[in-house]
Amino acid sequence: MVLKIHTMKLFSYMALILPLAILFACGDKGEDMSIETESEDCWRRTDGKLIFTQLSEAETSAPSKISIRFKLDDKDGQPIAGLTTENFNIYEQTQNNSCLQPISEFEALRSVQSEQRSFIQHTLILLDLSGSVITFQEELKEATRALVNEIDPTETSLNKIGVLWFDGAAELHELIAPTFNKESILESIDKIKTDLSKDNSTNLYGAVTSIAQKANSILEDNSGVSGVSIVLFTDGKDRANRVSKQNAYDAVNESNSAISFFTVGLGAEINKSDLEKFGRDRFVNISNVNQLSATFQDIAFFVQAEANSYYLLEYCSPIRNGVNNVLIVEAIQGDNKGYLESNFDATGFEGGCEL
């Protein structure tokens, strides 16, 4: 009888202990599972086919706003224009997080806009008016007018246009400084005459070097300018030998990434390899002067696409502290993605952020 009671107590103890043992065992496993669940929320980078060019460090302003400027291209260097807020995701990581976490639009207000809406773009048209151009100057003037009309410089479009030219002289000649006034630009083009140039030679390398320097100066001296497009036309090779080819190459290669270079070469006298290097964003080689207007209009399309491939992202961060927080901006266009990574200091961040 005593044995039976002890046996019954033993079963009772086991009935109590076994669930607890199972509970503790599951508790350990549950902790592992919670870690796995957290890791499943971590953002993972995949191969990117959209290329970011970061134009500024992440800038912070009270109470918790972060702003960052960038340019977007595809892997072939073609501009990605017209993306909206819906095409971007934001991820953040603090010292307390083991990985990057997605920031919901409900947690953080955000805005992505083309910088053409808030920053001025400059287009510099650079024409070769050396001796050989005299024979088709009217066609060149017509094509240049078409280019101006397509870009349509106005205070609404925020795109200024300037027109310059070169021959064999050491310095560039300016027909008109960058302006919104389309009528004045078109009038300046009409000033291209047979006797305008006093030097029949071609200072191509010098012209490329000088226009690159001018474009860089525009960006350095004007905080309200987000990008410069250079459209170069020539029908010949460098004959003046004033500036070395390598200097011209370096001037283009070392230019600010916010400068776009387009070149149009006419005829068999051009050095194609030079113009391909000078036109790092696009080079067009045409054989007939009658193709000039259509070619310049096509170039205008790419100039506008370049202007619209600059973006300003602003959002209200939910982070409230930390000096070395990580920000990832993910751009999505169809099946293609791209990523920008930056760091920011959230010291003193508070609520109440508005865009």
Output the CA torsion sign for 287, 293, 296, 300. negative
- Of 107-121, 179-193, 200-214, 285-299, which range is least confident? 107-121
Among candidates 76, 64, 77, 37, which has minimal Cα distance to 257? 77
| Proportion of the chain above pLDDT 90, given as a percent | 64
* Strands of 11-141, DSSP E: 50-54, 59-61, 65-74, 88-93, 101-102, 110-114, 120-128
Task: List pLDDT tens digits, range 112-128.
Answer: 977 555 578 899 999 99
- Rounded Cα gap, residues 32 and 237, in angstroms: 70
DSSP classification of residue 282: E
What confidence score (pLDDT) does residue 117 get?
53
Q: Tokens 């669930």 — which residue?
A: 19
Beta bridge partners, 88, equal 331
Which among 298, 267, 263 is positioned nearest to 282, based on CA atoms?
263
Band of pLDDT at residue 326, cut at 50, 70 and 90: very high
Among 1-15, 24-38, 102-116, 171-185, which stretch is predicted with the lowest mean pLDDT? 24-38
Q: What is the pLDDT of residue 106?
A: 81
The mean per-residue pLDDT over the stretch 33-47 comes to: 55
C-alpha dihedral sign at 96, 100, 103, 109: positive
Q: Which residues pair with 261 in a beta bridge?
A: 230
Q: Whose structure tokens read 């508790």?
A: 27
The pLDDT mean for the chain works out to 86
For 170-226, the DSSP string reads SS-EEEEEEES-HHHHHHHHTT--TTS-S--S--HHHHHHHHHHHHHHHHHH-TTEE
Most confidently predicted of 21-25, 41-45, 211-215: 211-215
Looking at residue 78, its pLDDT comes to: 86
Closest among 350, 311, 339, 343 to 92, alpha carbons compared: 343
Q: Name the CATH superfamily, with its identifier, for domain 120-307.
A: von Willebrand factor, type A domain (3.40.50.410)
Q: Tell the burial category of 157 from Cβ atoms under 10 Å away from its Cβ (0-12, 13-18, 19+).
A: middle
Please give the radius of gyration of the chain, using alpha carbons only, rounded to the nearest integer.
30
**What pLDDT score does 38 carry?**
43
pLDDT (0 to 100) of residue 18: 46
What per-residue confidence (pLDDT) applies to 4?
A: 43
- pLDDT tens for 249-306 read 999 999 998 899 999 999 988 999 999 999 999 999 999 999 999 999 999 999 988 8
Spell 198-235 as b/e; 16+ CB within 10 A means b.
Answer: eeebbbbbbbbbbbbebbbebbeeeeebbbbbbbbbbb
User: Which residue did the predictor score with more confidence, 255 or 46?
Assistant: 255
Write down the pLDDT at residue 96: 86
pLDDT above 70: residue 71: yes
The more confidently predicted of residues 353 and 17 is 353
Q: What are the beta bridge partners of residue 110? A: 315
Name which of 92-101, 139-148, 176-185, 211-220 the model is least confident about. 92-101
Q: What is the pLDDT of residue 3?
A: 41
Mean pLDDT of all residues in 205-217: 98
Predicted pLDDT at 6: 45
25-35: pLDDT as tens digits: 444 433 333 33
Task: Using alpha carbons, select from 69, 114, 72, 73 the residue that is nearest to residue 223.
Answer: 69
pLDDT of residue 292: 96
pLDDT for the residue numbered 227: 87
pLDDT on residue 116: 54
- Indicate the DSSP class of residue 353: -
Residue range 305-325: average pLDDT? 91
Would you say 330 and 339 are in contact if contact means Cβ atoms under 8 Å apart?
yes
Cβ neighbour number for residue 301 with a 10 Å cutoff: 11
> Does the predicted TM-score (pTM) go above 0.95?
no
